[in-house]
Amino acid sequence: MTLITTDINLASEMLKNEDVIGMPTETVYGLAGNIYSEKAIKKIYEIKKRPFINPLIVHIKSLECLNKVAINVSESALKLANTFWPGPLTLILDKHSSIPDLITAGKNTVAVRIPNHPVALALLEIVNFPLAAPSANPFGCISPTSAKHVAEYFNDEISIVLEGGNCQKGIESTIIGFRNKQPILYRHGSISVQEIEAVVGKLEILTKNDSAPEAPGMLSKHYAPITETFLTNDVIEFIKKSPHKKIGLLLFKQEIDNQKIIHQEVLSKSGDLKEAASNLYAALHRLDKLNLDIIIAEQFPDIGLGKTINDRLERATKR
């Protein structure tokens, strides 16, 4: 049975012994392993059932460690790192020769970030090696934002989950790469496009690739509940088209007055997109446990973090 614990020394010993643990970050919980351990990295891919074409994110403890995992770091990349690290920004950079191909899916680039969570940073300090930490969920499923989510997903497959509370951001990191010095958005995330563009200028958007993704999170079906889920800009009309169904709703600001609805999740009664993003996955987890016939998700305003929420819901509802 998977143990949820605050024992950071136990976690570090397991990582040093090439095992895999659940680790909190400010975005979502990750399945963490030593990037230099083939045994640990293979275990991450195996228990997640993650395709080996999908690269992993390397987590480092400080900006001073960047030159150990990446080379040829551009001025634009350093600007972004200095602005947003520690934090929910992942940079795609030319990889250092020491980085195993297993981490990067054979590519000559590596995804890197510094997490902004005290437990994750303390763990990175103790182990003194970078950690791969993709989201701690079976591939394609709803991302975990609590230690309990991780333990439920991987009961007996991992020994421990390090407790770090509910994730503050609740949605994955924004991923930025560069091509001919032009910044490219590979994944919408907890930092909005506008915030990134304020630092490095206009972004090229390239967020989907099912055959050879340059970065994590680019596959078109992902983050999905088991319950069939639909995304719509007219929830009331969609309810009318679904008679005799047990329906759950995922809504932005307010509930809908309809006696037929089994359960409704409102992500932010104040209309705060940051609050909505932080509540998204936890709400989907709750809905998915209710034995519903369908989940109907409301389309969010396509601005700021609304773009990120819509991106996740589009992937979750793709059939």
Residue whose C-alpha is closest to residue 102's, from 134, 76, 145, 71: 134
State residue 128 phi and psi, 5-degree precision: 65, 30
- Structure-derived torsion over alpha carbons of residues 310, 312, 315, 317, reported in degrees to the nearest 10: -70
Q: What is the pLDDT of residue 30?
A: 98
Task: Give average pLDDT by consecutive 10-residue segment, the chain, 319 residues.
Answer: 97 98 98 98 97 95 97 97 98 97 96 98 97 96 98 95 98 96 95 98 90 82 91 95 94 93 97 98 98 97 97 87
Q: What is the pLDDT of residue 215?
A: 83
Q: What is the pLDDT of residue 262?
A: 94
| Other C-beta atoms lying within 10 Å of the C-beta of residue 221 | 13
CA 240, distance to chain mean position in Å, is: 33
Cβ-in-10-Å burial (0-12, 13-18, 19+) of 253 comes to middle
3-state SS of 141-162 is ECCCCCHHHHHHHCECCECEEE
Q: What is the pLDDT of residue 319?
A: 56
Tell me the one-letter amino acid at 107. K
Given the structure tokens 């634009």, which residue do they identify? 76
pLDDT, tens digit (0-9, with 9 covering 90-100), for 9-20: 999 999 999 999
pLDDT, tens digit (0-9, with 9 covering 90-100), for 172-211: 999 999 998 899 999 999 999 999 999 999 999 998 888 7
Contacts of 235 (CB under 8 A, 6+ apart): 249, 251, 256, 296, 298
pTM to 2 decimal places: 0.96
Q: What is the pLDDT of residue 259?
A: 84
